[in-house]
């Protein structure tokens, strides 16, 4: 069987799906013989390769950089898999969607950064938050399939290792994975 090239990436996620990926333990070794991991937070490569057969995308599309990346991923991958709930439903990153970006940042980086006795309790700071060095947060965190066409969905928070393995095995065998019963939202 020819090796397939694999990329994994995380956008707005907690890396839990990648941990689950690693949790395949010794089964990982079998897999390693069949795939080339060209790009991943788990390897050193810093540039998304020109062509990959399968890309697992963890996390929601949440900021400028995610939007750019997800387009590149789609262009340069044959199969895109929405990997985990954040990629499929926006999940926990999406919980901020109910509040304006400023309020979220205020809460996360100013109020919660101060010791409890100094918290301003929702009063906006005078300086605000600057986006000079980090990507601008989008108004909402979105599931990746709202931005690009997605080929397979692997729900779960995180998806269990056996479901990941099953999905990749099926793709390797050239079959369409039937995820029914392997995992679920929130699993």
Partner 1 sequence: MKQHPPKKVRSDLNPSRLLTFKIDDRDVTAHEDETILSVARQNNIIIPTLCHLDGLSERGACRLCIVEVRGSTKLLPACVTFPRQDMEIITNSKRVINYRKKILELLFTERNHVCSVCVANGHCELQNLAVELGVDHVRYPYLYPRHDVDASHSRFCIDHNRCVLCLRCVRVCDEIEGAHTWDIMGRGMTSKVITDLNQPWGTSETCTGCGKCVQVCPTGALTEKGKSVAEMSKRRQFLPYLQMMRGRQGGSWQK
Q: Provide the binding-site residues for partner 1, judged by CB under 8 A.
A: 82, 85, 88-92, 94-95, 97-99, 140, 143, 145-146, 150, 153-155, 157, 179-181, 184-186
Nearer to partner 1, 17 or 52 (CB): 17
Query: From the CB of 56, what's the least distance to partner 1, in Å?
Result: 15
Pairing between β-strand 61-63 and β-strand 4-10 as defined by DSSP bridges: unpaired
Query: From the CB of 185, what's the least distance to partner 1, in Å?
Result: 4
Nearer to partner 1, 70 or 154 (CB): 154
Compute CA distances 53 → 19, 30, 45, 102, whole Å.
22, 18, 16, 39
Nearer to partner 1, 77 or 91 (CB): 91
Nearer to partner 1, 37 or 187 (CB): 187
Nearer to partner 1, 4 or 92 (CB): 92
Query: From the CB of 59, what's the least distance to partner 1, in Å?
Result: 13
Query: From the CB of 84, what's the least distance to partner 1, in Å?
Result: 9
Query: From the CB of 153, what's the least distance to partner 1, in Å?
Result: 4
């Amino acid at each position: 069987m020819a090796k397939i090239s694999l990329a994994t990436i995380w956008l707005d996620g907690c890396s839990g799906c990648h941990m689950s990926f690693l949790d395949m333990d010794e089964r990982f070794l079998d897999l390693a013989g069949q795939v080339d991991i060209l790009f991943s937070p788990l390897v050193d490569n810093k540039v998304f390769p020109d062509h990959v057969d399968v890309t697992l995308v963890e996390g929601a599309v949440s900021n400028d950089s995610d939007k750019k990346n997800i387009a590149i991923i789609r262009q340069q991958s044959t199969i895109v898999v929405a990997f985990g709930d954040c990629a499929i439903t926006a999940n926990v990153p999406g919980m901020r969607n109910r509040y304006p970006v400023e309020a979220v940042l205020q809460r996360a980086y100013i109020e919660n950064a101060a010791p409890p006795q100094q918290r301003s309790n929702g009063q906006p700071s005078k300086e605000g938050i600057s986006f000079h060095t980090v990507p601008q947060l989008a108004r909402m965190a979105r599931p990746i399939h709202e931005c690009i066409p997605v080929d397979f969905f692997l729900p779960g928070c995180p998806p269990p290792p056996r479901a990941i393995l099953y999905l990749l095995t099926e793709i390797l065998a050239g079959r369409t994975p039937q995820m029914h019963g392997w995992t679920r939202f929130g699993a």
